[in-house]
Amino acid sequence: MGLEYAGGIGRWQDPAIGRNGSSPEDGVSENGSSDGVEKVLIIGSGPAGWTAAIYAARASLDPVVYVGVPKQDPGPVLPGGQLMLTTEVENYPGFPEGVQGPEMMMKFEEQAKRFGTRVIGEDITECDFSTDGSPHTLRTSGGQTVRAHAVIISTGATANWLGLENEMRLAQTGGGVSACAVCDGALPAFRDQHVAVVGGGDTAMEEATYLTKFASKVSVIHRRDELRASKVMQERFLSKPNAEVLWNKTVVDVHGEEKISGVRLKDTVTGEEADLGVKGLFVAIGHTPATKFIRDTGLEFDDAGYLELKTRSSATNIQGVFGAGDVSDAQYRQAVTAAGMGCQAALDAEHYLGAKGLA
């Protein structure tokens, strides 16, 4: 049996005794429902999940959030999402002086719990979604079976990393390694500095072009002799006076103790290695949506593996199952858009439950 997340960093407790004194094995949900079925169960605890919880709790839907457990895949995956790996957040409304990513997620959690949201520190590992409107059945990493009328999936997407030890260390400590130029590129640490971007697709070109506004020089590091990005995106970047592409190169190490000082490059043709001094490294080799645990459940996905939403709502192809945040957004991937999608999902779930006479 796993530990129950009691809120805040590092706070865990034994779930054998529920908050109302009942055991999970009693068949009575902690929200007091005699049939043991949750009204709203939220999977994931980033901006989308917490916002959904806030709205659902204020609508008296007694939501429960399964925040997940820390893991490596291959980089760190933490309850709270990618913002737990972000230092300064300057583009989220309401924080004029900026805010640390983990601090912001703790505030989201505190606000959700203020309205009665229950928080469980386990993963949802299996889902058996019904197609006839009956409750959905889910299983947790602690071996429990949970049933819910409405499920909101907000597990996010993880950045793809190179997997280098120093890369991950500096990414986790705010040392100048990032997977989001739009999030971090305008920070003072990167202004008027030489920075590098790893990648060759449209995302890499978009991030590199954005960085040319702030950095003195932007070097795109690509392992081949041609870019995968569209011609338009390539031209947009290469037209900048402070842009360059380093062809046939891979990053084999990242230098620096507290802050990045450079990268070690290996030529994919000759095998020769050389150092490049940079003050920032942006890894732009894609994202992977956290959908492995729902791949064979009947839900529909797009070609990139993101949860597919049929309309502007959060509804999936299965009634009573909703998507929110980066798990269903391959385009924007911002905290503020994820939060907005969490709001949508909670409102859609409320309407769905209302139509069934459950709200």
Mean pLDDT, rounded, for 279-306: 94
Helix axes 231-238, 202-211, angle to 10 degrees: 20
Q: For residue 265, give the nearest of 289, 254, 249, 278 by alpha carbon.
A: 249
Q: Is the pLDDT of residue 117 over 50?
A: yes
Dist. CA 171–CA 245, nearest whole Å: 23
Helix (H, G, I), strand (E, B) or coil at 31: coil
Tell me, yes or no, if the two domains 4-158+287-355 and 161-283 fold the same way. yes
Helix (H, G, I), strand (E, B) or coil at 30: coil
Q: Is the pLDDT of residue 73 over 80?
A: no
- Three-point CA angle 7, 108, 167, nearest 5°: 85
Return the pLDDT at 258: 96
CB 117 within 8 A of CB 31: no
Structure tokens at 138: 């889910």
Return the pLDDT at 75: 67
Q: Which residue has the tokens 């003195």?
A: 216
Does an H or E element contain 262, and which? strand 262-267
Return the pLDDT at 76: 72
pTM attached to this predicted model = 0.78
Give Cα separations from 46 to 87, 175, 222, 322 (angstroms): 15, 22, 31, 15
Give pLDDT tens digits for 122-132: 999 999 999 99
Structure tokens at 199: 């990648």
Mean pLDDT, rounded, for 271-296: 95
Mean pLDDT, rounded, for 287-295: 93
Return the pLDDT at 329: 93
Dist. CA 18–CA 27, nearest whole Å: 12
Tell me the HSE value of 67 on the side-chain side, using a 13 A CA sphere: 35
Q: Is the pLDDT of residue 87 over 80?
A: no
Q: Confidence class of residue 82 from pLDDT cuts 50, 70 and 90?
A: confident
Mean pLDDT, rounded, for 221-234: 96
Q: Is the pLDDT of residue 13 over 80?
A: no
Does an H or E element contain 340, and which? helix 335-355
Q: Is the pLDDT of residue 10 over 70?
A: no
Distance of alpha carbon 355 from the chain centroid:
31
Does an H or E element contain 235, and which? helix 231-238
Comparing 31-40, 146-155, 214-223, 294-303, the range with the smallest average pLDDT is 31-40
Domain 161-283, architecture per CATH? 3-Layer(bba) Sandwich (3.50)
Return the pLDDT at 261: 98
* Percent share of the chain, pLDDT over 70: 89
Dist. CA 155–CA 62, nearest whole Å: 20
Which residues are part of the catalytic machinery?
A: 180, 183-184
Q: Where exactly are the structural domains of the chain?
A: 4-158+287-355, 161-283
Q: Is the pLDDT of residue 150 over 70?
A: yes
Return the pLDDT at 338: 97
Mean pLDDT, rounded, for 92-105: 93
For residues 107-122, one letter each, b for 16 or more C-beta atoms within 10 angstroms of the residue's C-beta and e for the rest, the string is ebbebbbebebbbbbb
Give Cα separations from 43 to 138, 192, 216, 221, 343 (angstroms): 10, 41, 42, 36, 14
Give Cα separations from 225 to 97, 161, 278, 284, 294 (angstroms): 43, 21, 22, 17, 38
Beta pairing partners, 307? 301
Mean pLDDT, rounded, for 238-244: 98
Dist. CA 240–CA 344, nearest whole Å: 39
Of 105 and 14, the structure prediction assigns the larger pLDDT to 105
Return the pLDDT at 74: 64
CB 210 within 8 A of CB 218: no
Altogether, the residues listed in the chain come to a count of 359
Other residues' Cβ atoms within 10 Å of the Cβ of residue 292: 12
Alpha helices in 91-172 (DSSP H): 101-114, 165-172
Q: For residue 30, give the nearest of 2, 8, 62 by alpha carbon.
A: 62
Domain 4-158+287-355, CATH among 3.50.50.60, 3.30.429.10, 3.30.420.40, 3.40.50.300: 3.50.50.60
Instruction: Give the chain's mean pLDDT.
Output: 89
Q: Virtual CA dihedral for 347, 159, 196, 331, nearest 10 degrees?
A: -40
